[in-house]
Amino acid sequence: MVQSSVLGYPRIGENREWKKALEAFWAGKLQESELQHKLQAIRLSHLSKLQKKGIDIIPVNDFSYYDHVLDTAVMLGIVPSRFSYEGHGPVPLTTYYAMARGSREAPACEMTKWFNTNYHYIVPELDGSSPVLTENKPLSAYREAKEQLGIEGRPVILGPLTFLKLSKGYSLSDTDEWLERLIPLYGQILQELEAEGVQWVQMDEPILVTKLEPVDLLRLRSSYDYLTKQAPVIRIMLQTYFESVDYYDELVTLPVQGIGLDFVHGLKDNLNSIKTKGFPENKVLGAGIIDGRSIWRAPLDDKTAILDELGKSVSADRLLLQSSCSLLHVPVSLRQENQLPAVLRNNLAFADEKLDELVLLTKAVAQGESVVAKTVEDVRQAAQSLKASEERSRGDVHLAIAAIREQPLERSRPFAERYAVQQAKWQLPMFPTTTIGSFPQSQEVRRARQLWRRKEWNGEQYTGFIRSQIDKWIGLQEEIGLDVLVHGEFERTDMVEFFGEKLAGFAFTQNGWVQSYGSRCVKPPIIYGDAAYIGEMTVKETSYAQSRTRRPVKGMLTGPVTILNWSFVREDIPREAVACQLAYALRQEVEALERAGIGMIQVDEPALREGLPLKEAYHAEYLSWAVRAFRAATCTVQDTTQIHTHMCYCEFHDMIDSIKQMDADVISIETSRSHGELIRSFEQETYELGIGLGVYDIHSPRIPQPGEMIAMIERALRVLDPKLFWINPDCGLKTRGIEETAASLRNMVEAAKAIREKYARLTHTL
């Protein structure tokens, strides 16, 4: 009989209990035993919910104390030597968190995006590690679920090929050697699970939806040949997600008992593979039918039609209906969202509602489509009401977008000519210093915002407070010696939410939180109508800041592609069309800032890279419209107006050309957390525009010393033009403390002065 499952459930709790517990522990307000007790309670409540909802196969070991990739690394003893782990027994929680967040003694491990999502994982560092099984985490999770709740769970394990491919610190020539060191540990994990009586394990191998070399497929086969020999009784569900698999023939012949495929984002190709090539009669198909990344209700009639097609090749007793990926990427529940417009709320489904959809679809397959008939009609009527709403009928926006599509979207002069007039205007020193935009959001700042939102403060009181913070930090920036200042963004919560609240076409949840990295949770806006400019968004605060100093103050905006990629987006029109609407709205704000006398404007695009499709065949199309959206927002300014942008925590080596095509006068890119590896991209390709490579990691509590920043700068200057080089942190400083922020920036300015003096001596010598 057909069954239901999910690939994972959100960790954070319906009211972010998980986040609060972690941060209390980090602040020294919770003992480790108290943290363990709180997290266990959250974990068990999640399992109990899945059980009560009627999910047949419940995942265990999908819960994490920070990140599931980091969990795998510490389980396998992959702990960099700088964290002083002795290699015996479980890795201490203090070491675990030091790897994730850094410590005063050691910088954190690199953090980057999990495939094409807004979730960040901690990159394992293999160099110098000696793999050893420190503890069998999946076994502990299985025992807990069975003993506490009577659940026969399916342990979730990050597969060996994916783990290795996502790791760093080894050469490609050593891949086989590393796999040979890791695979026996996986074998030991499975043997112990088998001895415990575990029936199924979910082995996640999302790397299989990306481009692989033929040798990787051989490695995949040899790995699973070994694992099935070590644990011949336990059944493996080899799970893929986020896209279709290009190696279907090789995948279905692996010695595993189940194959999980994505029938949402990989629908066309995965379905075609099964229809044309069939599916093995000795395997279970995990059909990812409910979108684990979308907040929109599933059109169940479309889903049953897909399942009918699958039913021609796979019998019901070999069919497992699943989410397309972990529900980690969506908010927990709609239950508290009673302030959304009804026309929108009726179209939404968060994690808990997706559980209901899975259970209902499972019944439909078993009992017939009449089971879902009423829900199908409800979904259809809700969608029709939204389509007919005035939020999706802004004729002025549609006309403007049509006009933009016909425009060349170019600045009036090329960069070299703009650079000359900008230098003449600004008279900046060599290696100018600046920050990325935000300054610490203290408790005082957050409390003021709450008082204002609760209407306990009027607008005049709140504006006065914000101006006092701007005054304080303008003065501090001048005292530290920064060359280009920012107003600090004290009036902003999230960099996307702030702009969404000031544009038409957006809606906001009360509790729609999603984990981004560690305890950092975001509440993505919902773009459900036509995005439209309805008035100035940043001019007041930026103009005030500029009035308090003679040094240039940057206007700070979030770019169109980042707003798109960090929001839940309507699905009735292409994403490109939504990006174009956002670009047009932001263009109007850029022009308003320029009219107000703001001559440096930063349009941040940290999420541009994460929207890149996983399939290379779609890269060019995406990058083309993403670059056009940025240029549409920024191309109408005067030559003397300097356009900045910022990107962080992504792999950029394969899109340097597109970054150039954005034609920003200055780009700042994170490089400190990846220990300068991005610099290699510029060692291979010339970059002729202004650039700042972040010289210290703002997510670590340690204060970087000038010497280490100087070393980073000097390496970059081997391949980048000193005349075009800026010095800045690698990201905004919103989450840092005031004292550490000031100390770090002082050290950064000291490093800049040292570099200036060195180059002045060299110039004098020449």
Consult the annotation and say whether 764 binds a ligand. no
In 37-85, DSSP assigns E strands to 59-60
Q: Which residues pair with 603 in a beta bridge?
A: 557
Question: 644 catalytic, yes or no?
Answer: no
What is the distance between the alpha carbons of residues 498 and 488, in angstroms, rounded to a whole number? 14
Closest by alpha carbon to 491, among 513, 464, 528, 455?
A: 464
What is the distance between the alpha carbons of residues 14 and 46, in angstroms, rounded to a whole number? 10
Cα within 13 Å of Cα(204), Cβ side: 24
Consult the annotation and say whether 731 binds a ligand. yes
The runs of H, that is alpha helices, within 201-334 are: 214-230, 248-252, 267-277, 300-311
Helix, strand counts (H, E) of the chain: 27, 21
**E strand or H helix that includes residue 204:** strand 200-204
Consult the annotation and say whether 268 binds a ligand. no
Which residue among 265, 644, 699, 764 is the active-site one? 699
Cα angle for residues 750, 755, 758 (degrees, 5° grid):
125
Consult the annotation and say whether 165 binds a ligand. no
Distances (CA, A) of 250 to 19, 194, 233, 245, 277: 41, 26, 22, 10, 12
Q: Are 368 and 307 in contact (CB under 8 A)?
A: no
Consult the annotation and say whether 650 binds a ligand. no
Consult the annotation and say whether 566 binds a ligand. yes
Q: Are 74 and 60 in contact (CB under 8 A)?
A: no
Consult the annotation and say whether 660 binds a ligand. no
User: Token pair for residue 215?
Assistant: 């040798």
- Strand, coil or helix: 488: strand
Consult the annotation and say whether 648 binds a ligand. yes
Consult the annotation and say whether 17 binds a ligand. yes
Separation of CA 746 from chain center: 30
Q: Are 484 and 551 in contact (CB under 8 A)?
A: yes
Sheet (strand 3-4) strand order? 3-4, 319-323, 284-290, 258-262, 235-239, 200-204, 154-158, 59-60
Contacts 24+ apart (CB under 8 A), 383-388: 383/299, 383/347, 385/343, 385/346, 386/343, 386/344, 386/346, 386/347, 386/528, 387/572
Consult the annotation and say whether 489 binds a ligand. yes
The runs of H, that is alpha helices, within 368-500 are: 373-387, 395-404, 415-426, 443-453, 459-480, 497-500
Backbone angles phi, psi at 112, to 5 degrees: -150, 175
- Distance from the first to the final alpha carbon of the chain: 81
Consult the annotation and say whether 16 binds a ligand. yes
Consult the annotation and say whether 436 binds a ligand. yes
Q: For residue 110, give the DSSP letter.
A: P
CB atoms within 10 A of CB 396: 10
Consult the annotation and say whether 670 binds a ligand. yes
CB atoms within 10 A of CB 700: 22
Consult the annotation and say whether 677 binds a ligand. no
Separation of CA 677 from chain center: 20
What is the distance between the alpha carbons of residues 500 and 497, in angstroms, rounded to a whole number? 5
Rg of the chain on CA atoms, in Å: 26
Consult the annotation and say whether 580 binds a ligand. no
Consult the annotation and say whether 347 binds a ligand. no
What is the distance between the alpha carbons of residues 263 and 241, in angstroms, rounded to a whole number? 9
Q: Are 526 and 295 in contact (CB under 8 A)?
A: yes
Consult the annotation and say whether 685 binds a ligand. no
User: Token pair for residue 392?
Assistant: 């999706």
Cα within 13 Å of Cα(59), Cβ side: 27
Residue list for the binding site for L-methionine? 436-438, 489, 604
Catalytic residues: 699
Residue list for the binding site for Zn(2+)? 646, 648, 670, 731
Residue list for the binding site for 5-methyltetrahydropteroyltri-L-glutamate? 16-19, 113, 118, 520-521, 566, 610
Residue list for the binding site for L-homocysteine? 436-438, 489, 604
Residue list for the binding site? 16-19, 113, 118, 436-438, 489, 520-521, 566, 604, 610, 646, 648, 670, 731
